[in-house]
Amino acid sequence: MAASSILPKYVRSLSYDAKTRTGILMMEPYTNCDFEECTSLFERIDRKVAAIHTFSGAERDTSYIRVGRSAGWSAKRGDV
């Protein structure tokens, strides 16, 4: 698998809470991560990741929440 195109250029930090299966991706202001890239990145850490929250600077950008057994994702912009 190819390296993520956002790493390390725009990423300030990446964290993962294994207990809650939640990832946090902190990026430079005015940047974002595409859905496939972001979910794939955290699924390489834990294939059962349940939620991912991305931040552009100090602002919450997008939250991805795994939906049901289908392993689909719901995306919400801003605070959720």
For the stretch 20-40, pLDDT in tens is 999 999 999 988 888 888 899
The pLDDT-based confidence of 6 (bands split at 50, 70, 90) is: low
Contact 23, 16 (CB under 8 A): yes
Q: In the predicted model, what is the mean pLDDT of the chain?
A: 86
Residues 6+ apart with CB under 8 A from 71: none
Q: What is the pTM of this model?
A: 0.83
Of the candidates 47, 33, 41, 48, which has an alpha carbon nearest to the alpha carbon of residue 15? 41
